Chains A and B, each alone.
Chain A
Amino acid sequence: MEVSFSPLGDTAVVIEVADAITPKAKSDVQILSACLDLNSPEWMLEYVPAYTSVTVFYDPLKITRNNTLPYEIVCKEIRKMCNTLKGYEDPVSRTIKIPVCYGGTFGPDLDFVAKHNGLSNQDVIDIHTSGEYTVYMIGFAPGFPFLGGMSERIATPRRESPRLSIPERSVGIAGMQTGVYPIETPGGWQLIGRTPIRLFQAENKIPSLLRAGDNVVFFSINQKEYLNWKE
């Protein structure tokens, strides 16, 4: 696997597998993650997979070194791991359906997204619900899925300044990405709707409903269905 390294401060390294979001990048990230799980070097605190990168956080004190700085050794050891990677099959993907109540107070930026793309609000909803999405990573907030596969026709840049508070379960768009806010948090995404289902369940062993590799489909529900939704 072709990878490049760069530091994220003095205790982490970003391993990049590609510079664009592609199915190959997604599969490389999953392979690398599986490999880190398997080898789990003593100096590794944890790793964070993303669209095109895996970031490894490490404890510099646990690295045996002879007058070499920790970063160099970490890179060398990870490179060694990458060179030994053999065939790996993507696990079978699950498909998860997520109901969304679009627009109104639930989606205050639906108008903006429509206007920005020269569409009607209904067009945005139709395009958003017709997509088949893949979970590239979970991040930013507990259980927050970053989804690939959104149509370019509804792509909209992030807000100029992030909102200080976004209600939990809001569905948003940022650039070419779409996702759902599992808990109340600040954020810069354009909000187009809200789902009644919980994506973060702290009581579960794996606290996130969605996992990297899952397929996701959105479908539109009205306000009444939203209010009466039962998980």
Chain B
Amino acid sequence: MIHIIKPGLLTTVQDLGRYGYQKYGVITSGVMDHLAHRIANLLVGNEEKKATLEVTLVGPVIQFEKDALIALSGADLSPTINGKPVRMWRTLFVKKGSKLKFGRCRQGCRTYIAIAGGINVPKVMNSQSTYLRAGIGGFEGRALEADDRLVTGELSRLSKDITSIITEEVDDEASELDWSIATSFISTYSSERYLIRTMEGRQFDLFDETSRQVFFENEFKVTTQSDRMGYRLKGANLHVAEAGELISEAVAFGSVQVPSDGNPIILLADRQTTGGYPKIGQVATVDFSKLAQMKPGDKLRFKKITHEEAQVLYLEQEESIQQLRQGILLKARR
């Protein structure tokens, strides 16, 4: 059991999303940063799809009411356990009664807290993700609040193995494993952070020549009107060559649509299932995590890649996650 002492700005229970109900208009929801979520789960011996807590900019204060194996990934919000700084991207063992707190945001926007065994909240339409607008899923269909108590799940065999390794090594209140994950993952968040690899969108050709050009050349700023549904950007104004109404169709995570005011919107985890605005771009899956870690005021540029390149990058990213998964299995089984 974990006890939420302070909830932070927006802390929700999320998994990899709710699939199969978009045809009834039910959005997928799910984590914004799938990579950080999956890695945090792997570090504690969970299946990647287990629910984690998604923390936004201002972290919660959480007390652990029993010993727990946890990992923190994504944004670095200066985490501490009982006042001592702890590292991101590590398997951590916390003793009963310990308090996890966060401080200043050093980098990124969203931190993921994975707990071995996952979080026991009921599945709604086959997912534990919180869908805030409809008030369903997650913990009572809402963001966490002070004094909420969340029950954690049964430990997997792998989580038990990792726990026994970590508890052999130290006797402190909080301890960490010296396993470090490939820097290539963390570099996702640091190198060329603002360059977002993007394909031409389905209606790219409908835009006028200037718009097609500046879309891939100019810088855009993430405005304060940005949330889990989408980021409204400010930069060059984009326009279709000939005005006309489009026939609504499906949209995806990373679709860049342009309403007639000319300011693009990048659709994200809480996006609607379909849209009627022309899509000038489509961000490649490989850079979803970079997007998820942007906050209002951050700048970005869309770097043009082809559909083929995006597919190859997707497969490469999955391959490196597969290697991480294997690496953890090998270390835990010794």
Binding site for B on A (CB under 8 A): 6-12, 14, 20-21, 33, 45-53, 55, 57, 60-61, 69-71, 137-144, 146, 157-158, 160-162, 164, 174-177, 182-186, 188, 200, 202, 206-208, 212
12 CB-based A-B contacts, threshold 8 Å: A8-B250, A48-B22, A48-B250, A60-B314, A71-B307, A139-B248, A141-B25, A142-B25, A143-B25, A161-B263, A202-B136, A206-B24
Question: Considering the complex, which residues of chain B in the window 269-312 have a beta carbon less than 8 Å from any beta carbon of chain A?
Answer: 272-277, 282-285, 307-308, 310-312
Interface residues on B, range: 35 or more
A-B contact number at CB 8 A: 163
Name which of B168-176, B183-191, B211-219, B254-262 contacts chain A.
B254-262
Within 8 Å by CB of A185, from B133, B274, B282, lies B133
In whole angstroms, how far apart are the Cα atoms of A137 and B312 in the complex? 33
Neighbour of A174 across the interface among B22, B24, B225, B245, CB < 8 A? B245
Q: Which residues of B contact A (CB under 8 A)?
A: 19-27, 124-125, 133-136, 199, 202, 225, 229, 245, 247-255, 259-261, 263, 272-277, 282-285, 307-308, 310-315, 318
A120 to chain B, nearest CB (A): 24
Residue pair A8, B255 in contact (C-beta under 8 Å):
yes
B24 x A162 contact (CB < 8 A): no
CA distance A186 to B132 in the complex (A): 13
Within 8 Å by CB of A140, from B125, B247, B274, B282, lies: B274
Report whether A11 and B250 are in contact in the complex, using a CB–CB cutoff of 8 Å.
no
Cβ distance B115 to chain A, nearest Cβ, rounded Å: 26
Q: Which of the residues B23, B247, B314, B318 comes within 8 Å of A49, measured between beta carbons? A: B23
Q: Are A140 and B248 in contact (CB under 8 A)?
A: yes
Q: Which residues of B contact A9 (CB under 8 A)?
A: 199, 252-255, 282-285, 310
* Chain A residue with Cβ nearest B310: A10
How many angstroms between the C-alpha atoms of A46 and B248 in the bound complex? 18
